[in-house]
Amino acid sequence: MKKKIALLFFFYISHLSFAQVISKTDLKLLQQKEDSLRTFSVQIIQGINADNRFNADSIFTRMLVRALKTNNSFHYPFESLQTVSIQYSPDSVFRIFTWQLVINENVIRQHGAIQMKTYDGSLKLYPLIDKSDITTNVIDTIGNNYGWIGAIYYKIILKKSSNKSFYTLIGFDENNIRSSRKIIEVLNFLNDEPTFGGRYFSYEEDSVFKPSQSRYIMEYKKEAGPRLTYDKDLDMIIVEHLVSESNEYKKKWTLIGDGDYEGFKWKAGKWIHVEKIFNLVTPDGKAPIPNPLRDPSGIIDENKLKNTAPVKPNGKSDD
């Protein structure tokens, strides 16, 4: 009962916070637009064929931009858009909308936009154009919002270095019929323009030398659910180690998590790879099992995307 009261109180305070910033007229307008957006956001995922999904995506995108042009829309949460991930930066400088469009089993594109917080409540928006399918070297590419490596973001981590802000994005990409991917990359704003990627992932402390990378990509078997999350207690990105079911490591669709963990620790303006975090061994007969990311209706379960880290040796868990 106490939890219900606390939850209702939270929603009440949240409603008050954006209602105080947005005028009653604009709030009513945004609520009406959200109702329409919700319908098309579901059709993007559940459309019976590619044409239906394309059409829904096109209408949804135009409607979303029109809604965001409403004064102070940055403060409106769009909570009912279940198929769209909306992540705010920890310092509330911006928020990112991301969603995906399944063209066919082997062609899946992400769409999105970055909305900046402005002092006068006007719209400042950067569209995100997924160019991952025509990018030659995804791991080392540095690009702006028109050369984006698409992902559905489920976590933003804020780090500072030399008085600059760096936003680490953790996201999911359904990729193709055989494999899925989880992606970590750093976003920063150069001359007020978004820049994705950079030599922020270093392996300088590893026992075997490996060149630094512009982003980290975990590609794995479609039915597997290896963990990749940020642990705020350890202040580390936790990555489950992958093994091949058939001992063919070049075939990414054979990779599954083995219950062992590596990760990244932020030091001197970059993420330094840590080869082993937990001294855990997967017992015989306890190999990882498939963990579908979609419910029966086809909607991605964001709680599974986050995949909380394993219990720590001292018994603490993420809050």
In tens, the pLDDT along 116-136 reads 999 999 999 999 999 998 888
Residue 125 located in a structural domain: yes
β-bridge pairing 270-274 and 201-202: parallel
Comparing CA positions, the residue from 34, 40, 42 lying closest to residue 56 is 40
In whole angstroms, give the CA distance from residue 229 to residue 17: 29
pLDDT at 18: 54
The total number of residues shown for the chain amounts to 319
In whole angstroms, give the CA distance from residue 259 to residue 243: 10
In whole angstroms, give the CA distance from residue 159 to residue 161: 7
Backbone angles phi, psi at 302, to 5 degrees: -65, -25
Residue 185 located in a structural domain: yes
Task: Mark the ranges of the chain whose per-residue pLDDT is less than 70.
Answer: 1-20, 279-319
Residue 74 located in a structural domain: no
* Percent above pLDDT 70 for the chain: 81
Bridge partners for 166 per DSSP: 159
Backbone angles phi, psi at 58, to 5 degrees: -65, -45
pLDDT at 20: 62
Domain count, the chain: 1
pLDDT at 12: 45
pLDDT at 86: 98
pLDDT at 105: 83
Residue 205 located in a structural domain: yes
Contact in structure between 202 and 270 (CB atoms under 8 Å): yes
pLDDT at 164: 94
11 Rama class: left (phi>0) / alpha (psi -120 to 50) / beta:
alpha
Residue 113 located in a structural domain: yes
Backbone angles phi, psi at 260, to 5 degrees: -100, 155
pLDDT at 147: 95
Write the CB contacts of 296 (distance below 8 Å, at least 6 apart in sequence). Answer: none
pLDDT at 312: 45
From residue 294, alpha-carbon distances to 39, 45, 138, 192 in Å are 19, 11, 26, 36
Q: Look at residue 152 and give its three-state secondary structure.
A: strand
Q: Look at residue 226 and give its three-state secondary structure.
A: coil
Residue 3 located in a structural domain: no
Mutual angle of helices 24-46 and 50-68, in 10-degree steps:
160
Residue 264 located in a structural domain: yes
Residue 246 located in a structural domain: yes
Domain hosting residue 236, numbered range:
84-306
Backbone angles phi, psi at 121, to 5 degrees: 80, 5
pLDDT at 116: 98
pLDDT (tens digit per residue) in 148-172: 999 999 999 999 999 999 999 999 9
Mutual angle of helices 24-46 and 2-21, in 10-degree steps:
120
From residue 312, alpha-carbon distances to 231, 259, 309, 316 in Å are 10, 13, 8, 6
Give the side-chain half-sphere CA count within 13 A for 77. 11
| DSSP H or E run through 158 | strand 152-161
pLDDT at 300: 59
